[in-house]
Structure 1
Amino acid sequence: MRPDRPFCAIVLAAQRAGRTDPLADAHGVANKSLVQIGGVPLIRHVVDALAATPGLARLRIVAEPEAEAALRGVLRAPFEFVPAADNLADSVYAAAQGVSEPMLITTSDNVLLTPAAVTETLQALSDGADVALALATEASVKAAHPDGQRRFYRFADDAYSNCNLYALSGTAATRAAESFRSGGQFAKKPLRMIVHLGPINLALLLLGKLTLRGALARLGRRFRLTVAPVILADGAHAIDVDNTRTYACAAELLRRRRDHERAAA
Structure 2
Amino acid sequence: MTQETKVTALVMAGKRSGVLDPLAEKAGVSQKAVVPVNGVPMVERVVRAVAQCPEVGAIRIVAHEPDEIAALPGVAALIEQGRLTFAEGKFNLVDSVFSGAEGAEFPLLITTADNCLVTPEGYTEFVTKCIAAGADVSAGLARKEDVIAADPVGQKRFYEFRDGGFSNCNMYWIGNRDALGAAEIMRQGGQFMKFPSRIIMAFGLMNLIRFRLGTGSKEKLFEQVSRRFGFKLVPIELSDGHYAIDVDEERSFGVTERILKRREG
In 1, distance between residues paired with 2:243 and 2:187?
A: 15
**TM-score in terms of structure 2 length:** 0.91
In 2, distance between residues paired with 1:83 and 1:95?
A: 7
Given the alignment, which residue of 75, 88, 102 partners 1:97?
Answer: 102
Aligned residues of 1:136 and 1:163 also touching (Cα < 8 A): yes
Aligned residues of 2:12 and 2:113 also touching (Cα < 8 A): yes
Amino acid corresponding to residue 134 of structure 1 in structure 2: G
Q: How many pairs does the alignment contain?
A: 257
Deviations, residues 85-138 of structure 1 (Å, cap 9, x unaligned): 111111101111112321100000000111112112112332211112111011
The answer to whether structure 1 residue 249 and structure 2 residue 255 are counterparts is: yes
Q: Who is 2:143 aligned against?
A: 137
State percent identity of aligned pairs.
Answer: 40
In 2, distance between residues paired with 1:223 and 1:130?
A: 11
Q: How does 1:191-206 map to 2 (within 5 A)?
A: 191-206=197-212
Q: Who is 2:78 aligned against?
A: 77
In 1, distance between residues paired with 2:152 and 2:49?
A: 24
Distance apart, 1:144 and its partner CA: 0.4
Distance apart, 1:55 and its partner CA: 3.1
Cα distance change on mapping 1:72 and 1:118 into 2, 3 Å: same
In 2, distance between residues paired with 1:58 and 1:240?
A: 23
Amino acid corresponding to residue 42 of structure 1 in structure 2: M
Q: Who is 2:131 aligned against?
A: 126
Cα distance change on mapping 1:53 and 1:217 into 2, 3 Å: same
Q: Who is 2:174 aligned against?
A: 168
Q: Who is 1:263 aligned against?
A: none
Aligned residues of 1:121 and 1:132 also touching (Cα < 8 A): no
**TM-score in terms of structure 1 length:** 0.91
- SS class of match (2:173): strand
Cα distance change on mapping 1:108 and 1:178 into 2, 3 Å: farther
- The RMSD of aligned alpha carbons is 1.8
Q: Who is 2:34 aligned against?
A: 34
Aligned residues of 1:3 and 1:54 also touching (Cα < 8 A): no
Q: Who is 1:23 aligned against?
A: 23
Amino acid corresponding to residue 243 of structure 1 in structure 2: E
In 1, distance between residues paired with 2:181 and 2:49?
A: 26
Q: Which runs of 4+ in 1 moved over 3 A?
A: 1-5, 180-184
Aligned residues of 2:161 and 2:214 also touching (Cα < 8 A): yes
Aligned residues of 2:55 and 2:124 also touching (Cα < 8 A): no
Question: Which segments of 5 or more consecutive residues in structure 2 lack a partner in the other structure?
Answer: none
In 2, distance between residues paired with 1:86 and 1:33?
A: 17
